[in-house]
Amino acid sequence: MSFRGLFIAVLLSTAMIVSAFVLQAKRPRVEVDRPSADLVKATGKCADCHRKETSAVVHEFEMSRHAKAGVVCLDCHQPTKGQEPYDHKGFTITRKLTSNNCRACHEQQVDEYMKSRHAAPAWAAVTGAEDFTPEQIAFAEAIHPGAVDRPAHPLVAVQGAASINKGCRQCHDIGKPNPDGSIGSCTACHARHVSSVELARMPETCGQCHMGPDHSQLEIYHESKHGVLFNVQRHIMNLNARPEKLTTEDMPVPTCATCHMSGLEGEKFTHDVTERLSYFLFDPISQRRPNYEAGRRNMKAICLKCHTNPKIQEFYGGAEAVVRSTNKLVKEADEILAGLRKENLLTPEPFDEPIEYLHFDLWHYGGRTAKHGAYMGGADFVQWHGYYEIVSKLTELKKSAEEIREKAGKTPEESARAAEAAQAAAEAAVEAAEAAAKAAGEAAGRAAEAARGADLPADVFTPGANDQPGGAADASNTPK
Amino acid sequence: MLRTLRSKPWLARPLFWTEVFAIINVGFIGFDVAIAHQMNAFEHSSEYIPVFYSMAAAPLLIVAMMLGGPEPATRRARPEGYAPWRVSLSRQIGLLVGFGSLVVGIAGLILHLRADFFQNMTLKNLVYTAPFAAPLAYAGIGFLIMLSRMADGRTREWASWVVVLAAGGWAGNFVLSLGDHAQNGFFHPSEWTSVIGAAIAFGFMTAVLVVPDNRPLRLLAAGVMMLQMAVGLAGFGLHVYANLARPSATLWASFLYGAPAFAPLLFNDLALLGLLGIWALAVNRNGEPARAEVELQPVA
């Protein structure tokens, strides 16, 4: 045999084989060391087609931290338990991603979200309990009594499906139950392919839903000093900082997420947006949450990164005074409506008479705005979009009630007597309800707080007559 | 059998079988491309070009064979027993088909260059980009068809070019095997077999090209080609098994998007071409071929 021929054959073959091994070895391990061949292929195969179709999706993903960490399309798009598999060009994927897909890697965050009002209570606020399984209702009701096992919002019937689908549900689907048994989708705040922490920290992300006359948080934030500073300093902030490592150097000015969720400088970060709240501000008459003390303490821990304790106490005192004051005004409006109902001058159906819309606007717009404005530092929203709206609508409400009575042929004296009787009855009913709620809340709160009772902040209002929502307490309680 | 060979001596010559090889290949590539472009849902109308080309090219070559005899003729070496116009027309048809193959192959290469890799030259994009080297199969077949009409099939030159084309095919097969299995991240170690096999085949084809007169080397190279046939059949079986074992919406979808079932048969194909080249080297000695030995015969 020719040595020259053999040498050439062996040399060339070996060189090619070695170069193939070297090339393969140079590939990032995160691309090739995967549990299945499909996960390896998805590294670039999906993008090969989707660069031509829905190319923005590919670019969004390439900007994500997921992409930098070696996560591939199939990691998220593979069906999990309860999801119907769908064959797509050689890959088995799921058509609809839910929080269950994120849970595979972010279990704690999904669990926290499930306990929050962003989960089942958000969807139930529009459609009631009908879309939930008994297990989902039981889970949510144990945390938020009455928030899920409830009827649909009365406006659903009044406005019709079209407006509800394109309106209410577009925001409230953050807690929509999914066919796989999970609830909601993390993409409501993090977006689908960029899966961005930065996006979730932007005020506009929360403001997709938390805006407008019924809950003007975005507008209030932008009026507040926080918002003004953020808009000026946004370009020097590091909104992409990892949640467990976020410092005031990254975000010297807070956004919604900083105060309500972020683990600023070692504090616990959470996806349960209720953990730092102390009042049910969205209610007509706002009462303390069962975790009132813990909520204040958690929030104040974040406030303390920028503000001194006396300043925080002063701020909280003023805000709570607004809560009590608006409660009083809303209760007055409630009593007027209750009186008319007692006199059979209103039908039992909601939203079928002008005065009911007036009453709804009073607390749903003016009342909420004043309270949110007070807690978020939006003075104009406390005053002109808040209190002014409340008192002007209350005046209209009183006038409208008089007209209804006159139209029904009742004398002013009769009306006054009826109104007094109704007021007394309403007060009794409200007080009974409040007492019951308070007792339940305090019992739960005591149980939860027993271990930490000694740590209660100094400015926590002592339960008593003056501290009743809508009671006589006012701004004089504010520590100076 | 001997009687048949005596009456049809072209059956015992590599030139005829090389032409048969070319006809089968130019037809089958169209079928393979149709499946490959179906994955892309024929997004661009130009993706139909190779399919239609193959549908026309293979019959045209058969017509050429019927016109000018079983073996292609060059301008100088013409078969006896055929009218000169028939031989000339047959040659022109063959050259046209060969040139067309060349154009389709190079155009395909250029069109495939629009893939991701050429926008962002990373190793990752190289692995997952459209197989830009694959259309060169048409170019290879086009060269083979033209070769048989431009170089005398009885010469060492012709035989050497067949070996060159076979070696080029193995080089391309090495790249394709490496790229295709890299998409899988060589998830199964057996996927390296094809890469190693193609590299060895290329090495031996090149060696035979450099040292064509060494019989033991030619025999060893022929043995390597036989081994590649086994590799191809094993690969075909593994690819089919992978597609059958993997649940999918339909069997068609499994084969369309799964492991390319026909791809390993490229090993058998190139092994055949390599064997034809080695055979041609063995029978086409240096210097002018003996006229009596390789006299072209008319179709009986």
Cα–Cα distance between A413 and A38 in angstroms, integer?
82
* Same domain, residue pair B148 and B238: no
* Same domain, residue pair B146 and B22: yes
- On average, the pLDDT of chain B sits at 87
Percent of chain B with pLDDT over 70: 90
pLDDT at B64: 92
Helix (H) or strand (E) holding B295: none
Nearest to B10 by CA among B81, B69, B88: B69
pLDDT at A430: 55
Range of the domain at B172: 156-283
Report yes or no: B210 at the A interface, CB cutoff 8 Å.
yes
* Same domain, residue pair B9 and B140: yes
CB B211 within 8 Å of CB B264:
no
Look at residue B25 and tell me if it is in a domain: yes
Q: Is A61 helix (H, G, I), strand (E, B) or coil?
A: helix
Q: Is A279 helix (H, G, I), strand (E, B) or coil?
A: strand
* Same domain, residue pair B53 and B178: no
* Same domain, residue pair B112 and B167: no
* Same domain, residue pair B38 and B98: yes
| Residues 96-155, chain B, touching A (beta carbon < 8 A) | 115-116, 123-125, 127-130
Average pLDDT for residues B272-296, to the nearest whole number?
A: 72
* Same domain, residue pair B16 and B143: yes
Look at residue B8 and tell me if it is in a domain: yes
* CA B89 distance to own-chain centroid: 24
Nearest CA distance, B53 vs chain A (angstrom): 26
Tell me the pLDDT band of A345, cut-offs 50, 70 and 90: very high
Cα–Cα distance between B147 and B157 in angstroms, integer?
10
Cα–Cα distance between A174 and A113 in angstroms, integer?
10
Average pLDDT for residues A171-180, to the nearest whole number?
A: 96
Tell me which residue has tokens 């109308």: B45
Tell me which residue has tokens 């899966």: A195
Look at residue B26 and tell me if it is in a domain: yes
Cα–Cα distance between B194 and B200 in angstroms, integer?
10
Residue that is last in its domain, among B123, B152, B181: B152
Look at residue B294 and tell me if it is in a domain: no
Nearest CA distance, A15 vs chain B (angstrom): 8
Judged by CB atoms closer than 8 Å, whether chains meet at A92 and B247 is answered as yes
Cα–Cα distance between B27 and B142 in angstroms, integer?
12
Cα–Cα distance between A386 and A394 in angstroms, integer?
12
Average pLDDT for residues A409-418, to the nearest whole number?
A: 69
Tokens of A413: 């004296």
Look at residue B87 and tell me if it is in a domain: yes
Contacts of A9 in chain B (CB under 8 A): 200, 203-204, 206-207, 217, 221
Look at residue B299 and tell me if it is in a domain: no
Contacts of B178 in chain A (CB under 8 A): 20, 23
* Same domain, residue pair B145 and B51: yes
pLDDT at A53: 87
Nearest CA distance, B210 vs chain A (angstrom): 7
Q: Which of A7, A8, A34 sits opposite B185 (nearest CB)?
A: A34
Q: Is A240 helix (H, G, I), strand (E, B) or coil?
A: coil
- The CB density around residue B34, as the number of other CB atoms within 10 Å, is 17
Enumerate residues 6+ apart whose C-beta is below 8 A from B248. A87, A90, A92, B254, B257, B258
pLDDT(B123) > 80? no
At what angle are helices B156-183 and A37-50 packed, to 10 degrees?
100
* Residue B123, burial from CB neighbour count under 10 angstroms (0-12, 13-18, 19+): middle
Residue pLDDT, tens place only, A445-470: 444 443 333 333 344 333 333 333 33
* Same domain, residue pair B6 and B121: yes
Judged by CB atoms closer than 8 Å, whether chains meet at A45 and B183 is answered as yes
Contacts of A8 in chain B (CB under 8 A): 203, 206-207, 210-211
Residue of B nearest to A7 (CA): B207
A264-272's contacts with Cβ under 8 Å and 24+ in sequence apart are A264/A302, A264/A305, A265/A305, A267/A301, A267/A302, A269/A243, A269/A244, A270/A112, A271/A109, A271/A110, A271/A112, A271/A113, A271/A116, A272/A112, A272/A113, A272/A115, A272/A116
Taking any CB pair shorter than 8 Å as contact, residues of chain A touching chain B are 1-2, 4-14, 16-17, 20, 23-24, 26-27, 31-34, 36-37, 40-41, 43-45, 47-49, 51-52, 87, 89-92
User: DSSP per residue over A288-352, as a string?
Assistant: B-TTHHHHHHHHHHHHTTTS-HHHHHHHHHHHHHHHHHHHHHHHHHHHHHHHHHHTT-S-SSTTS
Report yes or no: B207 at the A interface, CB cutoff 8 Å.
yes
CB B267 within 8 Å of CB B173:
yes
User: Is pLDDT larger for residue A414 or for residue B70?
Assistant: B70
Residue pLDDT, tens place only, A291-338: 999 999 999 999 999 999 999 999 999 999 999 999 999 999 999 999
* Same domain, residue pair B114 and B198: no
Look at residue B38 and tell me if it is in a domain: yes
Residue that is last in its domain, among B103, B119, B152: B152
Tokens of B79: 């078969």
Judged by CB atoms closer than 8 Å, whether chains meet at A27 and B116 is answered as no
Judged by CB atoms closer than 8 Å, whether chains meet at A20 and B204 is answered as no
CB A48 within 8 Å of CB B114:
no
Nearest to A100 by CA among A169, A13, A162, A184: A184
pLDDT at A407: 92
* Same domain, residue pair B184 and B256: yes
List the single best residue of A10, A24, A29 to mutate versus B (max B Cβ within 10 A).
Answer: A24
How many domains, chain B? 2
Residue that is last in its domain, among B86, B119, B152: B152
Judged by CB atoms closer than 8 Å, whether chains meet at A23 and B195 is answered as no
Residue pLDDT, tens place only, A361-399: 999 999 999 999 999 999 999 999 999 999 999 999 999
Enumerate residues 6+ apart whose C-beta is below 8 A from A217. A206, A207, A210, A211, A256, A372, A376
Helix (H) or strand (E) holding A478: none
Look at residue B288 and tell me if it is in a domain: no
* Same domain, residue pair B188 and B246: yes
Q: Which of B116, B123, B249 sits opposite A87 (nearest CB)?
A: B249
* pTM > 0.80: no
